[in-house]
Amino acid sequence: MKRVVLGLFAAVVLQACAAHEKTGDRAAAVGDWKAAYASYRQALASEPDSPEIKLKFDTARTKALQDAQQRAQTCAQVNDWSCALAESDFALSVEPGNAEIASFRAHAAQRVAMAQLDTAVEQAQQGQYAEAASLMDRALQLSPVPEVKTHAEDVRRIITTQGRVQADRYLNEGNFIAAHELAQLVLRLDASASAWAQNIAAEYEHFITEEVERLSREGDAARAQRDWGRAQQSYGAALSLRQGGRAAPLEAYVRHMALADQRLAGRDWNGAADAYHAALRTGQDDGYANHQLERVQLRPYRVVLRSVLVTPGRPDGRAWVGASNDIFTRLANRVTQMARQRGMTDLVKDLAMSIPHENRPRLRIEVHHPDGMHLTTHGRDGIYTAYDAEFVAVANAFDDRRVGFQVYMDGPNGSELLGSVDVPMRELVEHREVSLEGRSVIALMLSTGGDGRQPGPYAGMAHVLPPPAPGTPPPGRGHAATPLP
């Protein structure tokens, strides 16, 4: 096995060597000796005992060195000292011990450094102090000769003299950040400005302290309004001025709360719960994240269909079933008036139950749940009837899926739809007691409670069977359903 691995490694090395050699050959063919030199050097590193590659490498090295020296001289003749410096740097990388190239390189570096200092003087005179200081530093690193140091001193003097004046101007204008930054730059170049810079630093620290607190209060106000985006922006601005402090955990809190809102919008309940947990871990919750966490948790709920009250008759005043008469009409008007004025009081129920027996429709309610459940109660006579039928479904306080209820009147010739109402599951979860109304439905009473069972169980209802195939004789009455539990 070891021999196989070594063989594979050798094959990979040889393949890489061949690739570098081919790249070098292509570069040499067009006279790009720098690229050829680099490629042959890689090939030789992979196969150091190859006389053919060593010959190609030596040739490319010589040619590349000659080209670099030639180009360096040409650039110098046209005062392109940056080009001359780059070419001499390459030449020195090929032949580090060449004193002639090193001398030329030092001269080119001095010329480039002096040009950079000329530019730095212009920048300093234009108020671009940070840029001027950066160029001065690079020039001194490039060439340490006395001429460069002297010229750099000119730049330093302009920055420290004019910079102090500008920093004081910034301070008087209330631009404490700019004043402090410039004062620190002046102090770096002139240690004698220490006392002056410390005074500006004290003003700056006072400003930052007040500004951080102002921004934090803005964040507090936005957080109280649940405007997480604006709160995060304010706390973030405070942190950009000073890290830490009370803004840090608050920024994390509102960031997690904003993420929770995004996940709620996408119905990612688990993701929202994770974000609320993260918000709680910041220690900044005022109870809202904990409340939202409770609301977003998916739990089984028992939904109970308590009762239904329908209008005593049709829109034209006729009874749903049986013949209308004066007694029915008076009772019907009284039930409708009292129900609209007072709701489902005991008096309304008593009046509804006093409707003559021959005018009492047989009512049945079908339930359509978004999980796919299609259930029905059994039929009961009366415009008001209690059912206490129930089913279990999983939901949370953000679940906007709607549960539909259809009220049917069953008769010898089939079923007639009296009215339909629906309600989002979140309303059932949040309010626990709900009254729905719709066409011909005065009040459909529902209640909701927590349940330890899994979704699916039901009581007082049956599954609605699919419609019969064409040609199948219809059932004797209403909708066919499985037996009631």
pLDDT tens by residue, 99-139: 999 999 999 999 999 999 999 999 999 999 999 999 999 99
Interval 24-64: pLDDT, tens: 889 888 888 888 888 888 988 888 888 898 898 888 888 98
* Side chain identity at residue 57, one-letter code: F
Poorest-pLDDT segment among 32-41, 205-214, 462-471: 462-471
Q: Model confidence at 481, in pLDDT bands (50, 70, 90)?
A: very low
Q: Model confidence at 7, in pLDDT bands (50, 70, 90)?
A: very low
Nearest to 103 by CA among 149, 150, 143: 143
Coil, strand or helix: which one is 95?
coil
The whole-model pTM stands at 0.70
List, as one string, the DSSP characters of 28-72.
Answer: HHTT-HHHHHHHHHHHHHH-TT-HHHHHHHHHHHHHHHHHHHHHH
Interval 360-407: pLDDT, tens: 999 999 999 888 889 999 999 998 999 889 998 899 999 999 999 999
Q: Model confidence at 480, in pLDDT bands (50, 70, 90)?
A: very low
Please report the pLDDT score of residue 464 as a whole number.
86
Interval 223-270: pLDDT, tens: 999 999 999 999 999 999 999 999 999 999 999 999 999 999 999 999
Nearest to 289 by CA among 328, 329, 254, 265: 254
Phi-psi region of 330 (alpha: psi -120 to 50; beta: other; left: phi over 0): alpha
Interval 59-80: pLDDT, tens: 888 898 899 899 989 999 999 9
pLDDT of 193 higher than 90:
yes
pLDDT of 17 higher than 50:
yes
pLDDT of 335 higher than 80:
yes
What is the distance between the alpha carbons of residues 478 and 467, in angstroms, rounded to a whole number?
11
What is the distance between the alpha carbons of residues 245 and 417, in angstroms, rounded to a whole number?
65
Query: CB of 356 within 8 A of CB of 321?
Result: no
- The values of phi and psi at residue 452, to 5°, are -85, -5
Average per-residue pLDDT for the chain: 88
Q: Model confidence at 483, in pLDDT bands (50, 70, 90)?
A: very low
Please report the pLDDT score of residue 469 as a whole number.
55
